[in-house]
Chain A
Amino acid sequence: MGGFLETLYDVLFHPAAALQNIAMEKKVGQSLGAFLISIFVPAWAVYFGLQNADFPTISVIVIFIQVVGSTIFWFVGAGFFGLLAELFGGQGTAIGLLAGMGFANFPRVFVVPLIVLSTLLPGSLQSLFLVLFGSILVFWIITLHVIAIREAYVLSTLKAVAVVITPVAVMVVCGIIVAVSLGTMLLQWMPRL
Chain B
Amino acid sequence: MNGVLKKMSIVLLAIVVLGCLIFIAAKTPGLKQNYGLGKIALIHVDGVIIGGRGQSGLLSEHGGTDNIIRQLHDARDDESVKAIVLRINSPGGSVAATQEVGEEIQKVRATGKIVVASMGDIAASGGYWLAVMTDKIYANSTTLTGSIGVYMPYANWQELFQKIGIHQEKIKSGIHKDILSPDRPMTEEERKIIQAIVDQMYDQFVDVVADGRKMDRQTVRQLADGRIYTGIQAKELGLVDDLGNLYDAIDGAAKMAGITGKVQLKEYDKMNPFSMFWGANEKIDFSMLIPTQLRQTLPLTTPLAMPARWGE
| Contact in complex: A112, B289 (CB < 8 Å) | no
- Verify if A180 is at the interface (C-beta below 8 Å from B): no
Q: Is the CB of B17 within 8 A of A41?
A: yes
Contacts of A112 in B (CB 8 A): 17, 20-21, 24
* Complex contact A54–B17 (CB within 8 A): no
Tell me which residues across on chain B come within 8 A of A119, comparing CB atoms.
27
* A49, B3: Cα distance in complex, Å: 36
Which residue of A6, A45, A49, A57 is within 8 Å of B271 (Cβ)?
A: A57
Beta-carbon contact of B27 and A52 below 8 Å:
yes
The complex places the Cα of A61 from the Cα of B270 at a distance, in Å, of: 10
Within 8 A of B (CB), among A19-67: 41, 44-45, 48-49, 51-52, 54, 56-58, 61, 65
Within 8 A of A (CB), among B97-146: none
Q: How far is the CA of A56 from the CA of B40 in the complex (A)?
A: 13
A189 contacts B289, C-beta separation under 8 Å: yes
Which residue of the partner chain B has the closest CB to A10?
B6
- Report the stretch among B86-94, B160-168, B260-268 that lies at the interface: B260-268
Judge if A133 is at the interface, Cβ distance under 8 Å. Answer: no
Binds A, one of B7-15, B180-188, B198-206, B207-215: B7-15
Given A51-B28, A52-B29, CB of A109 within 8 Å of CB of B17 = yes
Take A5-B6, A41-B17, A112-B17 as given contacts and tell me if A54 and B273 are in contact as well, using a CB distance cutoff of 8 Å: no
**Is B298's beta carbon under 8 Å from chain A?**
no
User: Do A3 and B17 touch across chains, with their CB atoms under 8 A apart?
Assistant: no
Q: Which of B148-202 contact A (CB under 8 A)?
A: none
Whether A51 lies near B276 (C-beta < 8 A) is no
Q: Is the CB of A6 within 8 A of B3?
A: yes
**Do most interface residues of chain A lie in helix, strand or loop, or is the interface mixed?**
helix
Contacts of A57 in B (CB 8 A): 266-267, 271
The answer to whether A54 and B24 touch across the interface, beta carbons within 8 angstroms, is: no
In the complex, the answer to whether B10 meets A115 with C-beta atoms within 8 Å is no
Contact between chains at B267 and A51 (CB < 8 Å) = no
Cα A9 to Cα B276 in complex, Å, equals 38
Would you give the 0/1 interface string for A61-77, flagging 1 where the beta carbon is closer than 8 Å to chain B? 10001000000000000
Residues of the B chain whose Cβ atoms lie less than 8 Å from the Cβ of A44? 21, 24-25
Residue A187 lies at the interface, judged by CB distance under 8 Å to chain B: no
Residues of A within 8 A of B7 (CB): 3, 5-6, 9
A48 to B28, Cβ gap below 8 A?
yes
* B9:A9 contact, CB within 8 angstroms: yes
Q: How far is the CB of A18 from chain B (nearest CB, A)?
A: 11
Chain A residues contacting B265 (CB-CB under 8 Å) are 54
Whether the pair B6, A51 counts as a contact (CB closer than 8 A) is no
On chain A, the residues within 8 Å of B16 by CB distance are 113
Q: Assuming the A-B contacts A2-B3, A52-B28, A58-B271, are A113 and B276 also in contact, with contact meaning beta carbons closer than 8 angstroms in the complex? A: no
The answer to whether A8 has its CB under 8 Å from any CB of chain B is yes
- CB-CB under 8 A from A54, the residues of chain B are 264-265
A72 CB, min distance to chain B CBs, angstroms: 15
Known pairs A9-B6, A48-B24. 19 more at Cβ < 8 A?
Answer: A3-B7, A6-B7, A9-B7, A9-B9, A45-B20, A45-B24, A48-B27, A48-B31, A51-B29, A52-B27, A52-B29, A54-B265, A61-B59, A112-B20, A112-B21, A113-B16, A113-B17, A116-B20, A116-B23
Listed A/B pairs (30) with beta-carbon separation below 8 Å? A3-B3, A3-B7, A5-B7, A5-B10, A6-B7, A9-B7, A9-B9, A9-B10, A41-B21, A44-B21, A44-B24, A45-B21, A45-B24, A48-B28, A51-B30, A52-B29, A54-B264, A54-B265, A57-B267, A57-B271, A61-B59, A61-B273, A65-B273, A113-B16, A113-B17, A115-B20, A115-B24, A116-B20, A116-B23, A189-B289
